[in-house]
Amino acid sequence: MRQHDVLPMRLEISERLDAAVHLPLIAEDDWYGRYVSSQILASVVEDCYRAYRLYGSERSNETDFYRLSGEIHFQSSDLISIYFIASYEASPSLAPNNYAFSRNYFGKALGRLSLREIFDSNTEFLKLALRRCDDALDDAFRLSDMNLKEEELWSLLGQFNFDKRDLLINLSSYALLPSAFSVRQVTIPLPDVVDMILPPLRSALLAS
């Protein structure tokens, strides 16, 4: 697969929703390229509809605004990590709801994987990631003080990107956090967690 240009397009979700997005284009050289491309489009349409249901204004005479931009954070052969930043504005008098999410693909044999799958539900990784997030955030807001269950923690930390050096955790209102939190990114050096990654994925990442 090869990274191509960005595709601007508009989504028709509702007559009173102005939805404009910019999608990263993946060359559809084979079925895997078509799979990733279709996943990107489906993810964005799903998120736009999700945001409309969550944040949409009840005032029929006003227009809401949804903006999204996606970019290839990392690509090496069939490994690809995509970062999305989105904004939903339900009223000109209110601050827009900004958040981030991601999609990560690990080749033809594995396809898209979640953070929990990559680390095989390793609770030691979960503890390490939570500590790193707390260290990176303001003292007034600590994730560990939220007293979340394990399932909720995997969801909270589940929007991530990777490259051959780092694991990046994207924290925002997309998963459990309040909208006022906006978007924060926490960097965890890959060498700190690479031994916790499933062996087949570890080999693929180290070879990238």
3-class DSSP assignment, residue 58: coil
The DSSP letter of residue 143 is G
Residues in Cβ contact with 189 at an 8 Å cutoff, skipping those fewer than 6 apart? 165, 166, 167
- Token pair 């490259």 is at which residue? 163
By CB neighbour count within 10 A (0-12 exposed, 13-18 middle, 19+ buried), where does 153 fall?
A: buried
3-class DSSP assignment, residue 40: helix
Q: What is the pLDDT along the chain (208 residues), one digit of tens a residue?
A: 444 567 788 888 888 889 999 999 887 788 998 999 999 999 999 999 999 888 887 666 788 999 999 999 999 877 899 999 999 998 776 788 999 999 999 988 889 999 999 999 999 999 999 999 999 887 667 888 888 999 999 999 999 999 989 999 999 988 878 877 889 999 999 999 999 998 888 877 777 6
3-class DSSP assignment, residue 174: coil
State the sign of the Cα–Cα–Cα–Cα dihedral 28, 1, 44, 72. Answer: negative
